Amino acid sequence: MSGWRAWLDALLSRLSRPVARDASGRRLRKPFVHRYGRYTSLQFTRRQTQSRMLSAEPDVLLIDYTRTMMGALLWQPRPRAIGLIGLGGGSQVKFCHRHLPQARIEVVENNPHVIALRREFGIPDDDGRLQVVLDDGARFLRARRGRFDLLLVDGYDETGIPAALSTQQFYDDCRGALAPAGVVAVNLFCADAERHFEPLRHAFGADRALMVGEAKMSNRVAFAWAGESAAAIADPQHALEPLPAEARRQLAPVFERVAQAIQARAAP
């Protein structure tokens, strides 16, 4: 009888726990960790990997698009305040925390189950430079007007880009959350990237937005920046100078590629 009672108590305890939901009231799915070979991944389903890292080198930007998003440093080589929408396995959080020591980093994640796995992916604990906040990403941005030199948007659930992170209001709030010379990079892993890019262009202006494709992936990365459009013609070598050697190694090819895309668009 004692075994049955323990089972029932455990069941009642699980049923009484608060259910995690997003801003629309939809129940948030609980992810799991999958380890295989040299890799550790965060997954919501067996067929869908949200984030992947090298188990022995958790700070390396393993996935191509995560390096491309860091191409935003071309516009802002020495950011003092960095915001990230979406924690996942923390690839960019770890990179920024390690290689951009002058920056204060704020991360928002709406799924408490994802945050609970942060140590599984080597994400540092909160400290004077890093804070991970449990909140809705759109609400988080609205409360941080003029805050960030660099904003990285990579918020996904098991269905793709959440509706709250794809509205004109959200992209307007991205613009509003930037400091005067700030820049935002958005991961667009979807079949209709142009539909998401259009409100970003509307928020910043057509001459301050750029979309770059990935040669080996179906992702696209959109950049948009505040300030004068002429300032967008960045020098890759100048942007690389403040970075330590390992960061330069990872980002040098990306900086060249993004700079070429900027210059190609500006050419008559």
The secondary element (H helix, E strand) that includes residue 259 is helix 245-266
What global pTM score does this model have? 0.87
| 232 pLDDT above the threshold of 60 | no
The pLDDT assigned to 139 comes to: 93
The pLDDT assigned to 1 comes to: 45
Rounded CA separation 129/201 (Å):
31
Structural domains of the chain sorted by starting position, each given as residue range(s) with its CATH number in brackets = 59-266 (3.40.50.150)
- Catalytic residues, which ones? 154
**Burial level of 138, CB count in 10 A (0-12/13-18/19+)?**
buried
The pLDDT assigned to 13 comes to: 47
Rounded CA separation 49/177 (Å):
29
The pLDDT assigned to 11 comes to: 47
The pLDDT assigned to 204 comes to: 95
